[in-house]
Structure 1
Amino acid sequence: MLKNKRNIAIGGVVLVLLISFFVFGNSGGSEATDIIVPVEEGQFVVDINTTGELEAKNSTEITGPNRLRNYRIYQVNIQDIIDEGTYVEKGQYIARLDPSELNNRMKDSELQIEEQQSEYTQVELDTTLQLREARDNLTNLAYAVEEKKLVFEQSQYEPPATIKQAEIEFEKAKRALKQAKEAYLIKQRQLGARMKEVSIDLRQDQLEYDGMKELLSQFTITAPESGMLIYRKGYDGRPIKEGSQISAWDPVVATLPDLSSMNSITYVNEVDIRKVSVGQKVDIGLDAFPDKKLSGVVTRVANVGEQRPNSDAKVFQVTIELDKVDGDLRPGMTTSNKIFTQVIEQAVSIPLEALHSFQDSITYVYKQTGMNYQRQEVQIGATNADRAEILLGLSTSDEVYLSAPNGDIESADDIKLLAELNGKRNLKKEEPKQDTPTPPTGRKGRRNNPNS
């Protein structure tokens, strides 16, 4: 009987201990739903993932007329163009531009030439008549000089006054002839200058018309070299087509790419562009060939941002040169680019989910300490899409919670205490754990009284 009572008492004590352990002994520890992960050490990669498009590194441009502005034509419509991707031979037909505006200008030029020709003829006739009249006047004045000379010679036997009068008339006649000759030379130069002016205007109009005729022949565009035709993209990022316009400042219609070397053109948002620099390695995938893995290197980072169609964010163009190309690659193929902005060979890191912060000033984690946990302030370095590098506060022997254990909710007093205990401004890298665990800075019993 006594033995049975002893067994019952022992059983009751064990039951009480078990209840106490499950109710009180695990306070401040983790529940079954809490996930604990180890702090890892190894290579830490920071990368940026973008989508891009293949483009030939070098290409031959197929252009329309490059002297449109000389004839006050600034936009020309594409009337017809062959299909993109067509392989063309040198000299083969590519496209035809709409000549309507140029034809109208040629008609205006023809009328201008006719007017200038008529004016030239009129000036030529006027010049002929005026010079003829001037020459007749010179002849008459020469006769007058001869006449006055005879009178003067015959007056030698007349009274002195008569002789003097005859001499004066003779001198006046010679002076009039001299002045008429000088005036004739001036008029001749004036009329010659007028003829030259009209002739120049006529020649300019004729040259402009001839230039437009030559320009019209360039409205039919042919291939300068053999290759695959790739349409030029417009300002909206879309390839040009029949009905599109080309500008007098940039008359490129299409290109013939050199497929021996290619680039992936991509865009990085303004938040991440500071991480990207020339020389960084890139892993490249193709939507068209998911199993094909390519590599490349960043060769250019734009200094000025731009706003792409259908996007409110500013982006910067980044050019990635492929290390190797093959016959499957085509311009315009969509690429997925992983730009390796930073590679740290040995780094301590934890998942981003394990990080917590208070008012964006203190970053901490929940570190497991035996059956309990403590809040541990940490200093973070580089981050990627999944993990964060830990510079101070944790070692590889530690384990952290992915979320606040038992729904732990920190108060302002708790955070101040955390800062004091962990030395916010003088963090030191933790030494590896000894056999005796470090006392936790957190307080037990958070499940029953989270605000205690």
Structure 2
Amino acid sequence: MRHAMKRWVRLVLILLCLGSAAAAVLYWQWPRHTIEAVTVVEARPGTIEQVISATGSVEARRKVLVTAEPGTRIAALYFDEQDIVAKGQVLAKLDDIELVTQLRQMETALNVAKASLADAETSLAHAKALYDKGYIARQEVEAGQRQVELSRSQIAEKQATLQLLKAKLDRTLIRAPISGAITRKLVEVGGVVSDGTRGISASSGGQLQPMAIAEIAHLEALEFHVDVDQTEIGQIKRGQKAVIILDAFPDHRLHGVVEEITLSSVEEISGRVRYKVRVTLEKTTLPLRLGMTGTVDFILARKEQIPTLPMAVVLQRGGDEFVFVVENGVARQRSIQVGLRNEELVEVTAGLRAGERVIDQGRNKVRDGQPVHILNGQR
């Protein structure tokens, strides 16, 4: 009886050990069979542009300095900064008191010379009449002719001087050389036009060069100027297409073309090395203004109607890129190869068949072989 009891106790202990072992196995294996709720997406035909982005502002392609002779005094100004002016419009008047005085004196001298010519011509005609009658010698007629020629040369000289003075007087009216907007006003009424260095330019042949009183920006041709980091400047080429979105018009895409990439870098206190890039803007009906800021995307490559996935569903491990696809209700890890990418989409070049379901939400929770339940109703 006692022997039978021991055998039953031994059997119960064995059963308890086997039950504990089975429970432990089930405990550790249970998470592997947990059904994870996920959403899925499919690769869809799309368009991807690979771009380099930079910020900048709208600038005029052409800016012209309005100049005046150094040393002249500003008598009046007819413009202010931001004014829109037309070509030929009078912008300023220089002090012309001295020129007006010289002009009046020369007009008086010219009238005197004309009167002298008239007297000389009358005397010559009288001398010729007397010579024909034999009353005077030929030398007197020749002397009269010389006097007429001298008077005529004096008149021609004074007329030339008068024209020069009128031209100088006309130049006291400073006119706009082009139509556009005044971007800088460099003088004030009563001020004297500076020669910049108070010296004489060696390249001017010893003559003072005209100095600026204003700057006009031509508004018919606008550009977008940006500074691009040295690590990216090598990928930008002249003639490359670009898309610009201005902060003032975020819902509009402006198109442009790279016009120029400067050879010298832009100096920055931070030590960064960047290069200025000029992008010519295509004409638009938007009311663009100088200085408007925005972002430009330089298009490095563009593909259309290619299989794409949202960038977020592609995972990386050890340099390999992969996704989780759903096969017969189970998550399967699938290595893929990708091509172009941007901030939202990535091109799938290999590893994925059309119509396959790729896990989106839940991608970071599932493991290869884990059962899944699709929430968004796709097949």
Q: CA contact under 8 A between 1:353 and 1:403: conserved in structure 2?
A: no
Residues 1:395 and 2:353 aligned together: yes
State the alpha-carbon separation in 2 of the partners of residues 300 and 66 from structure 1.
Answer: 34
State the alpha-carbon separation in 1 of the partners of residues 301 and 332 from structure 2.
Answer: 32
Q: Decide which of 162, 169, 177 is 1:225's aligned counterpart.
A: 177
Report which stretch shifted further, 376-385 or 280-289. 280-289
Residue 312 of structure 2 aligns to a residue whose secondary structure is helix
State the alpha-carbon separation in 2 of the partners of residues 320 and 94 from structure 1.
Answer: 37
1:90-144: per-residue Cα shift (whole Å, max 9, x none)?
552499xxxxxxxxxxxxxxxxxxxxxxxxxxxxxxxxxxxxxxxxxxxxxxxxx
Residues 1:47 and 2:51 aligned together: yes
Letter in 2 for 1:225: P
Aligned residue for 2:377? none
Letter in 1 for 2:323: V
Q: Decide which of 282, 290, 301 is 1:323's aligned counterpart.
A: 282
State the alpha-carbon separation in 1 of the partners of residues 349 and 31 from structure 2.
Answer: 34
State the alpha-carbon separation in 2 of the partners of residues 396 and 443 from structure 1.
Answer: 21
Q: 1:253 to 1:318 in 2, by over 3 A?
A: farther
Letter in 1 for 2:293: T
Residues 1:38 and 2:42 aligned together: yes
State the alpha-carbon separation in 2 of the partners of residues 381 and 270 from structure 1.
Answer: 24
1:292-316: per-residue Cα shift (whole Å, max 9, x none)?
553222222345543557x664433
Aligned residue for 1:92? 91
Q: Decide which of 299, 305, 310 is 1:340's aligned counterpart.
A: 299
1:219-256: per-residue Cα shift (whole Å, max 9, x none)?
x9956525444446xxxxxx9999xx99769x877531
Give the TM-score of the pair, scaled to structure 2: 0.51
Aligned residue for 1:117? none
State the alpha-carbon separation in 1 of the partners of residues 45 and 290 from structure 2.
Answer: 41
State the alpha-carbon separation in 2 of the partners of residues 94 and 396 from structure 1.
Answer: 76
Q: 1:259 to 1:375 in 2, by over 3 A?
A: same
Aligned residue for 2:237? 277
Aligned residue for 1:131? none
Report which stretch shifted further, 390-399 or 271-280. 271-280
1:171-194: per-residue Cα shift (whole Å, max 9, x none)?
xxxxxxxxxxxxxxxxxxxxxxxx
Letter in 1 for 2:321: T
State the alpha-carbon separation in 2 of the partners of residues 327 and 257 from structure 1.
Answer: 18
State the alpha-carbon separation in 2 of the partners of residues 313 and 288 from structure 1.
Answer: 28
Q: Decide which of 329, 343, 349 is 1:371's aligned counterpart.
A: 329
Residue 329 of structure 1 aligns to a residue whose secondary structure is coil
Q: CA contact under 8 A between 2:186 and 2:212: conserved in structure 1?
A: no
State the alpha-carbon separation in 2 of the partners of residues 379 and 241 from structure 1.
Answer: 64
1:178-193 correspondence runs (5 A): none
Aligned residue for 1:133? none
Over the matched positions of the two proteins, sequence identity in percent amounts to 23
Aligned residue for 2:62? 58
Residues 1:300 and 2:260 aligned together: yes
1:31-430 correspondence runs (5 A): 31-32=36-37, 34-62=38-66, 83-87=80-84, 90=89, 92-93=91-92, 225=177, 227-231=179-183, 254-290=214-250, 293-308=253-268, 313-326=272-285, 328-359=287-318, 361-402=319-360, 405=363, 407-408=365-366
1:74-98: per-residue Cα shift (whole Å, max 9, x none)?
xxxxxx9974212456552499xxx
Q: CA contact under 8 A between 1:47 and 1:339: conserved in structure 2?
A: yes
1:243-298: per-residue Cα shift (whole Å, max 9, x none)?
xx99769x877531222211111233344444433333333344444565532222
Letter in 2 for 1:370: N
Q: 1:371 to 1:322 in 2, by over 3 A?
A: same
Residue 92 of structure 1 aligns to a residue whose secondary structure is strand
More strand by share: 2
Residue 339 of structure 1 aligns to a residue whose secondary structure is strand
- 1:341 deviates by 2.5
- 1:384 deviates by 0.7
Q: CA contact under 8 A between 1:267 and 1:318: conserved in structure 2?
A: yes
Q: CA contact under 8 A between 1:246 and 1:253: conserved in structure 2?
A: no
Q: CA contact under 8 A between 1:94 and 1:223: conserved in structure 2?
A: no
Q: CA contact under 8 A between 2:181 and 2:218: conserved in structure 1?
A: no
1:354-398: per-residue Cα shift (whole Å, max 9, x none)?
222223x22222222221112222222221111222222223322
1:17-66: per-residue Cα shift (whole Å, max 9, x none)?
xxx9xx9698375x22x332211223222234443222222232246889
Aligned residue for 1:145? none
State the alpha-carbon separation in 1 of the partners of residues 313 and 228 from structure 2.
Answer: 28
More helix by share: 1
Letter in 1 for 2:229: N
How many pairs does the alignment contain?
245
Q: CA contact under 8 A between 1:229 and 1:254: conserved in structure 2?
A: no
Give the TM-score of the pair, scaled to structure 1: 0.44
State the alpha-carbon separation in 1 of the partners of residues 93 and 313 from structure 2.
Answer: 61
Q: Decide which of 10, 25, 33 is 1:27's aligned counterpart.
A: 33
State the alpha-carbon separation in 2 of the partners of residues 53 and 229 from structure 1.
Answer: 17
State the alpha-carbon separation in 2 of the partners of residues 314 and 322 from structure 1.
Answer: 25
Q: 1:370 to 1:256 in 2, by over 3 A?
A: same
Q: CA contact under 8 A between 1:226 and 1:256: conserved in structure 2?
A: yes
Note the aligned Cα RMSD (angstroms): 4.4
Q: CA contact under 8 A between 2:313 and 2:363: conserved in structure 1?
A: no
State the alpha-carbon separation in 2 of the partners of residues 241 and 37 from structure 1.
Answer: 66
